[in-house]
Amino acid sequence: MTDVTIKIAGQAGQGMQSISYLLGKLFTRGGYYVFTSQDIMSRIRGGHNFSQIRIRDAPVYCNSAKVNVLVALDEAALTLHKDELIKDGVIIFDKEKTKFDAPGLVLFPVPLEKLAKDYGKDKIMVNTVALGALVQLTGYPVDLLYNVLKDEFSAKGMEVVNRNIASARAGYDYARNNFRRECPCKIGLKPKEPKRMLISGSEVLGVAALCSGLKFYAGYPMSPSTPIMEYLALKAKDFNIVVEQAEDEISAINMVIGAAFTGVRAMTATSGGGFALMVEGLSLAGMTETPIVIVVSQRPGPATGFPTRTEQAELQFAISAGHGEFARIVFAPGTPEQAFQLMNKAFNLADKYQVPAIILTDQHFNDSYWTVDSLDLAQITIDRYDVSNKWLNQPAYTYKRYQLTESGISPRIYPGLRNQVIYADSDEHNEEGHITESAELRKKMVEKRLKRIESIRQELASCYVYPEDNQETMLVTFGSNFGVVKEAVDILNEKKFKIGMLHLSEIFPFPRESVMAQLGFSRKIFTVENNATGQLARLLTAETRIKVTDKILKYDGRPFSVEELVDRIEMII
């Protein structure tokens, strides 16, 4: 079975992300599944960055710590990453920049910068030269690489395309003509496979929003959420939507609330610091019963923290954010397929229950790329729950925006309907929407807004359990840890452990009955979380009274690798 990890490392500005993306497309077209991730410093030039791509025959959702090939674009990359290589691991490096020897490893020194200048007319083409050499050494068809380069750079003109192809060919030819030793890391072209796509977490969220009828987006750039806005801005004209870069996050969420009030589907995206600024607006949406969608892409805090790294420390924040008590929905997808489905569900449930819905992601999810077989458009539905037509023939001026109903959901029409007026206020209000000081009415309105929580809970899917048979030990996790926990479970069960996973992607209102039913047979329960305080463990115990045996936590700004997680589980099991 093919399972190869390639690491491309160097300074910011040397194009590691470009190589990993192009490799992802290349191997996806060749019939493989890939997962690519980024480790980026918060700077434009210099420092040390790397991208990692894992190539498998089967779907892959996480990193491996075992590196098969290192493409070192500077000397620091050799020093920092040579010990991560497996025995007979391969290193491609610039022989004119670095003198290097490493017993037990297979070295392929290539004059990367010289070839880039000679054939690409610029040393910036170093990454493309390395790409060509890598393709030759792994035994992959070079014509497929040329096609990928044409597709990627054609919008920049044929001169750019030709320089990239010339650079790749130079690297390919140098490797073919100068290295007689067989590369131990061959990745041949697979037999004809169905077409698949390579997509990032940010892109799949944008695609799902467009498919779900998004018409208005407002946001302020804050990594790691910014690529969502960039993707939607590129598609705005094609899909006839408005994408507005606001002056700050406070303005962004209030624009979104205003757009949703008029009747269009509206959303924003931010990270923890931006979400902190949006919290008063979130409460406004709760009080005015305005359906909006917010993507909160987590990164390490407090304050600025690690702007370009990952964490899961805003679970409790998302569930409890806002002054006062009101219903909300919180989802945390773990795969592109889940994100596609949950974005659609967030819009539909937000409209149905007239509440804000939060999609909780993180840098690792947003910036990584996956190979997926397809995104099933047949799953997408657009349910607006608009009753405007029913009010066309009602007596004039009888509409009550906040009518008290048995379900807690009031009929919702949009402004502009003939002979009806919509009043909305951030103060406590009566059924018509006018300000009130009535203690009795205040109690009824609070209960009305909260009544929907139990109804929403019934709409949420059961938690994902793998394998399906009851296990003695269960790993409970959420969000982007889906893939690494699932693979760790497979490895541990091959070692005769009886272990399973429970993954939560539809987190709030908490699916307590489903969780209790699944965990009732387990003697040991561990949570796996990217935070320092065990926020999921606290939520699990608060909602179910189930005692967590131990917590496996990671909060250094990096995601778990599967080997690291397996080792930590074996230490405490």
Beta carbons within 10 angstroms of residue 541's beta carbon: 15
Predicted TM-score of the model (pTM): 0.95
Query: Using the 8-state DSSP alphabet, how is residue 50 labeled?
Result: E
State both tokens at 70: 């290192």
Q: Three-state SS for 143? A: helix
For residue 313, what pLDDT is reported?
A: 98
Strands 550-553 and 524-529: parallel
State both tokens at 447: 């209960």
Return the closest-CA partner of residue 10 out of 53, 40, 35, 55. 40
Return the closest-CA partner of residue 365 out of 318, 309, 320. 309
Q: What is the pLDDT of residues 344-380, one digit of tens each?
A: 999 999 999 999 999 999 999 999 999 999 898 998 9
Strand order in the sheet with 67-72: 106-110, 85-94, 67-72, 3-12, 46-56, 33-39, 369-372, 197-200
Strand order in the sheet with 473-478: 464-466, 499-504, 473-478, 524-529, 550-553
The answer to whether 54 and 25 are in contact (CB under 8 A) is no
CA 138/CA 55 separation, integer angstroms? 12
For residue 24, what pLDDT is reported?
A: 95
Strands 106-110 and 329-331: unpaired
Q: Pick out the chain residues at pLDDT < 50.
A: none
Domains and CATH numbers, the chain: 3-178 (3.40.920.10), 199-379 (3.40.50.970), 464-572 (3.40.50.920)
CA 501/CA 504 separation, integer angstroms? 10
Q: Could you tell me if residue 416 is left (phi over 0), alpha (psi between -120 and 50 degrees) or otherwise beta?
A: left
State both tokens at 508: 């709030």
For residue 102, what pLDDT is reported?
A: 82
Q: Three-state SS for 360? A: strand
For residue 111, what pLDDT is reported?
A: 95
Q: What is the pLDDT of residues 431-476, one digit of tens each?
A: 999 999 999 999 999 999 999 999 999 999 889 999 988 789 999 9
C-alpha 36: how far from its chain's center? 12
For residue 117, what pLDDT is reported?
A: 94
- Sheet strands (E) in 13-80: 33-39, 46-56, 67-72
For residue 188, what pLDDT is reported?
A: 79
C-alpha 254: how far from its chain's center? 25
The answer to whether 479 and 485 are in contact (CB under 8 A) is no
For residue 296, what pLDDT is reported?
A: 99
Query: Using the 8-state DSSP alphabet, how is residue 544 labeled?
Result: H
